[in-house]
A and B are shown apart, each in its own frame.
Chain A
Amino acid sequence: MTEAAGDTGDNGKAIPRIVTSRWDLADGHTLERYLDTGGYGSLRKALESMTPAQVHEEVKAASLLGRGGAGFPAGVKWGFCPPGVFPRYLVVNGDESEPGTYKDRILMERDPHQLIEGVLIACYAIGVGQAFLYVRGEMALAQERLAQALNDAYAAGYVGRNILDSDFSVDIVLHWGAGAYIVGEETALIESLEGERGLPRLKPPFFPAAKGLYMQPTVVNNVETLANLPWVIDHGGAGFADLGAESSRGTRLFAVSGHVNRPGVYEVEFGTTTFRDLLYGAEYGDGIVDGNRLKAFIPGGASAPWFFEEHLDLPLEAGAVGAAGSMLGSGAIVVMDERTNAVKAAWRVVRFFARESCGKCTPCREGTTWLEKILRRMLDGQGRPQDVNKLLDICDNISPSITWPPKQTTICPLGPSAVSPIASALIRFQDEFFAYCGGEPVEITVPVGGKAYIAAPPTVGAPS
């Protein structure tokens, strides 16, 4: 029972540890150790030998995908800032809250300077006038480590006015939230930073890169995304792009939790590792607990459609996972063994979305709540035969056709996220749902489109 415990990504393979290189050091969070291990060298390199446009080009060449969940290329996102409009702002998204996701908190706690250096590199390239580091409210240790790191970095001349005696000047303001998952959505994050309730903004017409914080051009980047930048500048965009797979370059942090023998956060090169490696490999998850069989696993955070045994040999790579009907999302892999109650697991994920719905859009506010109540009623022994199709009908109202990637009737993807666990569990484990709904099989009449949902031949009532 220790603070900041946990397994690290020491997997013994010859892949570079891009973002986890200081995780094993007890003092990896201090400025002294950071400088000892090459810290702020990339910032110096950028300021002394590269123009902002060249830094931007390196990040584009790296094809660094956003690590928050949506996976949008960071270099492209930066390029959306309209020319000639200033000030531009950078908002760091450290509001990690997606169930199963545990990586940004460790990055902030164990290597805060790496993040700060990444923020500075981004600010230099984009021409940012002020940066805001938004940390989740519940993460007191991360706040403390970042506050200390920023204080030290300011005093040493790495942040603030005339950084490293150049004409590059930017303040990084540490800010934290107060408990709301939705604030991880970038426009809700901006609202929160403006002192408002965290309700996502309707977009289009305005995306944050054009009109974000204070209606000025704003780049919102995830913690892990920015933590990659010092390495990218040090080794070049091409060096980064040499690692990984066609559709996802570099490495990625994966949190493997649930029913595995070695739960942990592992840095893995994209494309070269499969889910099977990560769940069963001795250096990673090391197999299912008690030698049990795998029932299902969530490959990319609670929003992602579930995967099953037949997906184990897919490489960890956005393209392959997307083609199979799910996503790597936030790098959160949740493993469920054969003893897991599928209805209960689905309920627990849905309860999360029901609680965290901000209430702005009716299909999400009402839909997630109804889904949660129906599942709860089923678990309490009050399920009815019609509940099976009712659940899917509500899903269809939140996300028409229950496809992947999901369509949405809402401003943000939170509502459709509640559809994934239900469609996943219900189509695959129909018998378990029937058992809670009167015991007899029911014909499923609501069409379900997502590939991962219908990967296995349904036992009864094929979708029409």
Chain B
Amino acid sequence: MGELALIVIAAALVNNLVLVQSLGVCPLFGASGRVETAIGTALVTGLVLTIAAALTHVVERYVLVPLELPYLRLIAFVIVVAVAVRCTDAIAQRSSPLLASLLGVQAPLVTANCAVLGVALLNSTASRSLVAALFYGVGAALGFGLALVLFAGLRERLAHTDVPVPFRGAAIAFVTAGILSLAFLGFAGFARL
């Protein structure tokens, strides 16, 4: 139990996908114009991430390994991620029209998000069990959401600053993301709880 909690915290804070491992940086800059957009993107990506983490683990354990096809891992995972996005879309259509509209617009973006594929591959490299992989997915999703929402807040505040003209737009956003990553470095070495 403690170990699982540790996995979640490590995935969310210490090895934060966006700020420490530099995965999934596209949505960080693309979807963080406003806090509401960021929350929506974070929820959607987080959901897909968790589902994909579990599905890819199952595919690797019960399909790739018994058939001795480790070299097909990358292609198989990409296909599984696309399937996971479709699954989430189907679930969203049934349950929440809001989620469906959010996902509908962003489905290609989430499929191509390297964070989703990255988590799947990281789980595979670390040879985690299904439960551990799932919790890692949850932690990664939480960390991704945290980074996205924090960054959206900061970007909204950037509208009230007086940035020099050459730095407006993407440049100051990158500098801000850099300082945010520096802040998250404080969690390095959070080995024990």
Q: Do A and B originate from a single complex? A: no
Binding site for A on B (CB under 8 A): none
